[in-house]
Amino acid sequence: MPPRPKTSRPPRRLTPPRSATAARADRAILVEIDNRQKTFAVDGRWLRGIVRQAVVAIGSRHAEIGLAIVDDAGIAALHDLWMGLPDPTDVITFDLSSPGGDGLHGDIAVSAETAHRVARTLGWQPRYELAYYVVHGLLHLAGEDDLDPTARRMMRVRERAVMAAIGLPAPPRRRRPSPTTRGGR
């Protein structure tokens, strides 16, 4: 059988070519994921995409994010070591940016065990709850805070806006009862 003639046509691609801008954006947002838990399977590729999209939705063009997915024991150890609180929490953020630096730089630890438990209580998917914790952590890296009630409300609005911008549902949160409605008053 004679060899096939060479053509000047490039081989057909299975995926469309990415634009140079998209390729540069991916290089400008570096995400490293370390999954240290066995509570539920986490799709690292999906979560990496969530981080990248959220960084852009927050308004940053550059980021270096380390994401540790841990269980309650792992996050409780970090919580105790860095904040003196020995109980588990949902997310802890470590800002590693330089003063006057450009972009978001930091590490975020999220508890998959907490995400699984809370998601079951609220009736939605654990991966969405985990993504919510990641968005919360990224907002902390962007300078948002939730230490007082006004700042907390503003941060919740921003969290919902970022979740919507990246195509995720808003977290189904229940309002805490006000002091005047507790105990049947």
Q: The domain 27-171: what is its CATH number?
A: 3.40.390.30
Q: What is the pLDDT of residue 38?
A: 93
pLDDT tens per residue, range 35-68: 999 999 999 999 999 999 999 999 998 999 999 9
pLDDT over 80 (residue 21): no
- Phi, psi (degrees; rounded to nearest 5) at 144: -75, 150
C-alpha to C-alpha distance for 35 and 134, rounded to whole angstroms: 13
Q: Which residue did the predictor score with more confidence, 61 or 3?
A: 61
Q: Are 112 and 39 in contact (CB under 8 A)?
A: yes
- In the block, tokens 């919580």 appear at 79
pLDDT tens per residue, range 130-166: 999 999 999 999 999 998 999 999 999 999 999 999 9
Q: What is the pLDDT of residue 174?
A: 60
Q: Which residue did the predictor score with more confidence, 33 or 176?
A: 33
Q: What is the pLDDT of residue 161?
A: 96
Domain ranges of the chain: 27-171
What residues are paired with 91 via a beta bridge?
Answer: 110
Q: Which residue did the predictor score with more confidence, 11 or 61?
A: 61
pLDDT, mean over the chain: 83
> What Cα–Cα distance (Å) separates residue 104 from each residue in 25, 80, 151?
14, 25, 20
Helix (H, G, I), strand (E, B) or coil at 93: strand
Q: What is the pTM of this model?
A: 0.79
